[in-house]
């Protein structure tokens, strides 16, 4: 069965990687679908291409995972890809409230689509992309929160060398 894990992934964290890894053990094929929203280009740290490159490098050991980009409605992307299951990671109750609304909307827009939630592993449940960006922006060490390809991209973005 083919599932889609959509998101902006700006940047891709160990929490994201954990969801991908767990989904890849449950399903035959996982597509990590990177959101391309031209209306929000200024709010993204990395371009769609950069995010896709980071994710591909991070999931290189998983043969059944592919990385793609999409814009527009996720329900339409699912239809075009012939996929019927959306996978989303949940960290907290606040995530659930938002994702529940999105799941209902996607089901209304494409009745063939189901949304499955994977609970974040406890050790990653407090990590968000926006927090990682903020810590990295101020020179903090994010090496334990992101995969190596993300760390390298963050260091390059902020003109730093080294691991942390």
Known catalytic membership, residue 133: no
Which letter, b or e, does each residue of 17-55 get, where b requires 16 or more Cβ atoms within 10 Å of its Cβ? bbbbbbbbeebeebbbbbbbeeeeeeebbbebebbbebb
16 is catalytic: yes
Q: Which CATH number fits domain 2-152: 2.40.40.20, 3.40.50.620, 3.40.50.720, 1.20.1300.10?
A: 3.40.50.620
- Catalytic pick among 79, 91, 152, 157: 91
Residue 12 annotated in ligand binding:
no
Mind listing the pLDDT tens digit for each residue in 33-70? 999 877 665 688 999 999 999 999 999 999 999 999 99
Dihedral sign computed on CA atoms, order 106, 120, 27, 117: negative
Say if residues 24 and 123 touch (Cβ distance below 8 Å).
no
What integer pLDDT is reported at residue 75 of this predicted model?
Answer: 97
Active site annotation includes 129 = yes
Give catalytic status of residue 40 as yes or no. Answer: yes
């Amino acid at each position: 069965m083919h599932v889609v894990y959509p998101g902006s992934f700006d940047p891709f964290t160990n929490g994201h990687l954990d969801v991908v890894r767990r989904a890849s053990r449950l399903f035959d094929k996982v597509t990590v679908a990177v959101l391309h929203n031209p209306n929000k280009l200024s709010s993204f740290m990395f371009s769609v291409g950069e995010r896709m490159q980071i994710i591909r490098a991070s999931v290189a050991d998983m043969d059944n995972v592919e990385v793609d980009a999409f814009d527009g409605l996720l329900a339409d992307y699912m239809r075009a890809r012939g996929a019927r299951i959306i996978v989303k990671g949940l960290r907290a109750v606040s995530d659930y409230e938002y994702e529940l609304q999105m799941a209902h909307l996607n089901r209304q827009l494409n009745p063939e689509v189901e949304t499955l939630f994977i609970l974040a592993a406890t050790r990653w449940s407090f990590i968000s992309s926006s927090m990682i960006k903020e810590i990295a922006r101020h020179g903090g060490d994010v090496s334990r929160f992101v995969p190596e390809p993300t760390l390298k991209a963050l260091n390059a973005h902020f003109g730093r060398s080294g691991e942390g």
